[in-house]
Amino acid sequence: MTKLLSRGLAAAMGSFMLTFGAGAASAQAETSAAPKISEVQRTVTATTTMFSNAVGSVFGAQLDPTQIDAARVAREAAWLRTAGWPLYALADRFGTGAQLTEEANCIAVAVYHEARGESLEGQIAVARVILNRAASGKYPPSWCDTVKQPWQFSFVNPRTGRYPSVDESSASWRKAVGVTRLAIAGAYPSVTEDVLWYHATYVSPSWGRRLSRADKIGTHIFYRA
Protein backbone atom coordinates (compact mmCIF):
# COMPACT_ATOMS: atom_id res chain seq x y z
CA MET A 1 0.00 0.00 0.00
CA THR A 2 2.85 2.42 0.95
CA LYS A 3 4.76 1.63 -2.24
CA LEU A 4 1.60 2.07 -4.33
CA LEU A 5 0.90 5.44 -2.72
CA SER A 6 4.52 6.53 -3.21
CA ARG A 7 4.35 5.71 -6.91
CA GLY A 8 1.06 7.66 -7.23
CA LEU A 9 2.52 10.68 -5.45
CA ALA A 10 5.76 10.51 -7.42
CA ALA A 11 3.81 10.43 -10.70
CA ALA A 12 1.73 13.43 -9.69
CA MET A 13 4.75 15.44 -8.50
CA GLY A 14 6.72 14.51 -11.62
CA SER A 15 3.89 15.80 -13.78
CA PHE A 16 3.82 19.00 -11.74
CA MET A 17 7.56 19.60 -12.20
CA LEU A 18 7.34 19.01 -15.94
CA THR A 19 4.37 21.32 -16.30
CA PHE A 20 5.85 23.98 -14.06
CA GLY A 21 9.22 23.81 -15.84
CA ALA A 22 7.62 24.16 -19.24
CA GLY A 23 5.53 27.07 -18.00
CA ALA A 24 8.62 28.83 -16.57
CA ALA A 25 10.59 28.46 -19.81
CA SER A 26 7.66 29.88 -21.75
CA ALA A 27 7.37 32.81 -19.36
CA GLN A 28 11.08 33.69 -19.80
CA ALA A 29 10.64 33.77 -23.56
CA GLU A 30 7.81 36.29 -23.29
CA THR A 31 8.74 39.90 -24.11
CA SER A 32 5.72 41.31 -22.34
CA ALA A 33 6.24 42.30 -18.71
CA ALA A 34 2.61 41.53 -17.76
CA PRO A 35 2.35 38.29 -15.69
CA LYS A 36 0.28 35.48 -17.25
CA ILE A 37 -1.88 34.94 -14.15
CA SER A 38 -4.61 32.97 -15.93
CA GLU A 39 -2.05 30.51 -17.32
CA VAL A 40 -0.53 29.98 -13.87
CA GLN A 41 -3.96 29.37 -12.41
CA ARG A 42 -4.75 26.83 -15.11
CA THR A 43 -1.46 25.05 -14.45
CA VAL A 44 -2.06 24.89 -10.70
CA THR A 45 -5.64 23.71 -11.18
CA ALA A 46 -4.65 21.00 -13.66
CA THR A 47 -1.82 19.78 -11.43
CA THR A 48 -4.04 19.72 -8.33
CA THR A 49 -6.63 17.67 -10.20
CA MET A 50 -3.95 15.26 -11.41
CA PHE A 51 -2.60 14.91 -7.87
CA SER A 52 -6.10 14.27 -6.44
CA ASN A 53 -6.85 11.67 -9.08
CA ALA A 54 -3.55 9.88 -8.43
CA VAL A 55 -4.15 9.73 -4.67
CA GLY A 56 -7.81 8.83 -5.13
CA SER A 57 -6.98 5.94 -7.43
CA VAL A 58 -4.46 4.59 -4.92
CA PHE A 59 -6.86 4.69 -1.99
CA GLY A 60 -10.05 4.00 -3.89
CA ALA A 61 -8.74 0.69 -5.16
CA GLN A 62 -8.43 -0.51 -1.57
CA LEU A 63 -11.99 0.32 -0.45
CA ASP A 64 -14.93 -2.09 -0.49
CA PRO A 65 -17.88 -0.42 -2.28
CA THR A 66 -20.26 -2.02 0.20
CA GLN A 67 -18.39 -0.40 3.11
CA ILE A 68 -18.41 2.98 1.38
CA ASP A 69 -22.16 2.75 0.77
CA ALA A 70 -22.84 1.52 4.31
CA ALA A 71 -20.91 4.40 5.86
CA ARG A 72 -22.84 6.91 3.75
CA VAL A 73 -26.21 5.33 4.58
CA ALA A 74 -25.36 5.17 8.30
CA ARG A 75 -24.49 8.88 8.44
CA GLU A 76 -27.46 10.04 6.39
CA ALA A 77 -29.98 7.74 8.08
CA ALA A 78 -28.83 8.86 11.54
CA TRP A 79 -29.43 12.48 10.58
CA LEU A 80 -32.83 11.72 9.00
CA ARG A 81 -33.97 9.71 12.02
CA THR A 82 -33.03 12.62 14.26
CA ALA A 83 -35.13 14.80 11.98
CA GLY A 84 -38.11 12.49 12.56
CA TRP A 85 -38.12 10.32 9.45
CA PRO A 86 -40.06 7.05 9.99
CA LEU A 87 -38.82 3.70 8.73
CA TYR A 88 -41.01 3.66 5.63
CA ALA A 89 -39.55 6.99 4.52
CA LEU A 90 -36.00 5.76 5.11
CA ALA A 91 -36.62 2.55 3.14
CA ASP A 92 -38.03 4.59 0.29
CA ARG A 93 -35.10 7.03 0.40
CA PHE A 94 -32.46 4.31 0.22
CA GLY A 95 -34.42 2.10 -2.17
CA THR A 96 -33.00 4.00 -5.13
CA GLY A 97 -29.54 5.08 -6.20
CA ALA A 98 -26.48 3.16 -7.29
CA GLN A 99 -26.91 -0.52 -8.05
CA LEU A 100 -26.25 -2.88 -5.15
CA THR A 101 -23.07 -4.91 -5.11
CA GLU A 102 -23.48 -8.61 -5.91
CA GLU A 103 -23.24 -9.56 -2.22
CA ALA A 104 -25.75 -6.94 -1.09
CA ASN A 105 -28.06 -7.94 -3.92
CA CYS A 106 -28.21 -11.50 -2.54
CA ILE A 107 -29.58 -10.13 0.74
CA ALA A 108 -32.13 -7.97 -1.07
CA VAL A 109 -33.31 -10.97 -3.09
CA ALA A 110 -33.73 -12.96 0.12
CA VAL A 111 -35.70 -10.14 1.74
CA TYR A 112 -37.87 -9.88 -1.37
CA HIS A 113 -38.71 -13.59 -1.51
CA GLU A 114 -38.79 -14.34 2.22
CA ALA A 115 -40.46 -11.27 3.68
CA ARG A 116 -41.96 -8.86 1.15
CA GLY A 117 -45.37 -9.43 2.75
CA GLU A 118 -43.98 -8.54 6.18
CA SER A 119 -43.61 -5.18 7.87
CA LEU A 120 -40.42 -3.26 7.18
CA GLU A 121 -39.25 -4.14 10.71
CA GLY A 122 -39.76 -7.80 9.81
CA GLN A 123 -37.85 -7.38 6.56
CA ILE A 124 -34.89 -5.75 8.31
CA ALA A 125 -34.85 -8.63 10.81
CA VAL A 126 -34.59 -11.17 7.98
CA ALA A 127 -31.72 -9.19 6.46
CA ARG A 128 -30.00 -9.03 9.85
CA VAL A 129 -30.22 -12.82 10.25
CA ILE A 130 -28.28 -13.24 7.00
CA LEU A 131 -25.67 -10.72 8.11
CA ASN A 132 -25.45 -12.38 11.53
CA ARG A 133 -25.00 -15.83 10.02
CA ALA A 134 -22.19 -14.74 7.72
CA ALA A 135 -20.38 -13.10 10.64
CA SER A 136 -20.95 -15.95 13.11
CA GLY A 137 -18.39 -18.47 11.85
CA LYS A 138 -21.14 -21.11 11.77
CA TYR A 139 -22.17 -20.37 8.20
CA PRO A 140 -20.36 -19.42 4.98
CA PRO A 141 -18.59 -16.07 5.40
CA SER A 142 -20.07 -14.39 2.32
CA TRP A 143 -23.64 -13.13 2.20
CA CYS A 144 -24.39 -14.84 -1.11
CA ASP A 145 -23.01 -18.20 0.04
CA THR A 146 -25.04 -17.91 3.24
CA VAL A 147 -28.23 -17.26 1.27
CA LYS A 148 -27.50 -20.05 -1.23
CA GLN A 149 -26.51 -22.66 1.35
CA PRO A 150 -28.66 -25.75 0.66
CA TRP A 151 -31.84 -26.25 2.69
CA GLN A 152 -31.63 -22.94 4.53
CA PHE A 153 -34.00 -20.65 2.62
CA SER A 154 -37.05 -22.14 0.98
CA PHE A 155 -36.96 -19.92 -2.12
CA VAL A 156 -33.47 -21.17 -3.09
CA ASN A 157 -33.16 -24.35 -5.16
CA PRO A 158 -31.03 -26.55 -2.83
CA ARG A 159 -29.39 -28.40 -5.73
CA THR A 160 -28.44 -25.47 -7.94
CA GLY A 161 -28.38 -22.52 -5.55
CA ARG A 162 -30.59 -20.60 -7.96
CA TYR A 163 -33.65 -18.62 -7.02
CA PRO A 164 -36.62 -17.08 -8.80
CA SER A 165 -36.28 -13.70 -10.47
CA VAL A 166 -37.52 -10.49 -8.89
CA ASP A 167 -39.64 -7.74 -10.35
CA GLU A 168 -37.18 -4.86 -10.17
CA SER A 169 -39.86 -2.38 -11.22
CA SER A 170 -42.03 -3.22 -8.21
CA ALA A 171 -42.46 -1.31 -4.96
CA SER A 172 -41.61 -4.54 -3.12
CA TRP A 173 -38.15 -4.67 -4.70
CA ARG A 174 -37.51 -1.01 -3.94
CA LYS A 175 -38.38 -1.66 -0.29
CA ALA A 176 -36.12 -4.72 -0.23
CA VAL A 177 -33.22 -2.65 -1.57
CA GLY A 178 -33.82 0.13 0.96
CA VAL A 179 -34.14 -2.35 3.82
CA THR A 180 -30.94 -4.11 2.74
CA ARG A 181 -28.96 -0.87 2.76
CA LEU A 182 -30.31 0.06 6.19
CA ALA A 183 -29.54 -3.40 7.59
CA ILE A 184 -25.98 -3.51 6.23
CA ALA A 185 -25.33 -0.05 7.65
CA GLY A 186 -26.83 -0.98 11.03
CA ALA A 187 -28.87 2.17 10.61
CA TYR A 188 -32.07 0.94 12.24
CA PRO A 189 -32.62 -1.13 15.42
CA SER A 190 -33.35 -4.79 14.80
CA VAL A 191 -32.61 -8.25 16.19
CA THR A 192 -29.32 -8.67 18.03
CA GLU A 193 -26.16 -10.20 16.54
CA ASP A 194 -26.73 -13.62 18.15
CA VAL A 195 -30.06 -14.17 16.34
CA LEU A 196 -29.30 -16.65 13.55
CA TRP A 197 -32.58 -18.40 12.85
CA TYR A 198 -36.26 -17.77 12.17
CA HIS A 199 -39.30 -19.55 10.84
CA ALA A 200 -42.87 -18.69 9.94
CA THR A 201 -45.54 -19.00 12.61
CA TYR A 202 -47.51 -21.51 10.55
CA VAL A 203 -44.76 -24.15 10.81
CA SER A 204 -43.19 -25.78 13.85
CA PRO A 205 -39.72 -27.17 13.05
CA SER A 206 -38.15 -29.45 15.65
CA TRP A 207 -34.99 -27.33 15.83
CA GLY A 208 -37.01 -24.43 17.22
CA ARG A 209 -37.48 -26.32 20.51
CA ARG A 210 -33.71 -26.48 21.01
CA LEU A 211 -33.21 -22.73 20.68
CA SER A 212 -34.05 -19.65 22.69
CA ARG A 213 -36.86 -17.55 21.29
CA ALA A 214 -35.68 -13.98 20.76
CA ASP A 215 -38.58 -12.17 19.14
CA LYS A 216 -41.71 -12.44 17.03
CA ILE A 217 -42.13 -9.91 14.23
CA GLY A 218 -45.15 -10.34 12.03
CA THR A 219 -45.41 -13.96 10.97
CA HIS A 220 -41.78 -14.78 11.76
CA ILE A 221 -40.35 -16.07 15.04
CA PHE A 222 -36.65 -15.37 15.60
CA TYR A 223 -34.22 -17.46 17.67
CA ARG A 224 -30.78 -17.33 19.23
CA ALA A 225 -28.73 -20.31 20.38
Mean pLDDT for back-to-back runs of 10 residues, the chain (225 residues): 44 44 44 46 47 42 75 96 97 94 97 98 98 97 96 94 95 98 97 97 93 97 95
pLDDT at 65: 78
- Return the number of other C-beta atoms located less than 10 Å from residue 88's C-beta: 12
pLDDT at 63: 59
Say how far apart CA 69 and CA 66 lie, in whole Å: 5
- Return the number of other C-beta atoms located less than 10 Å from residue 3's C-beta: 7
Report which of 133, 105, 134, 110 is spatially closest to residue 122, judged by C-alpha positions: 110
Judged on CB neighbours under 10 Å (0-12, 13-18, 19+), 80 is middle
Q: Which amino acid is at 67?
A: Q
pLDDT at 38: 52
- State phi, psi for 171 to the nearest 5 degrees: -65, -30
Say how far apart CA 143 and CA 105 lie, in whole Å: 9
pLDDT at 225: 85
pLDDT at 66: 82
Contact status, residue 203 vs residue 105, Cβ threshold 8 Å: no
Say how far apart CA 46 and CA 56 lie, in whole Å: 15
> What does the buried/exposed string (b/e) look like for 167-204 if buried means 16 or more CB atoms within 10 Å of the residue's CB?
eeeeebbbbbbbbbbbbbbebbebbeeebbbbbeeeee
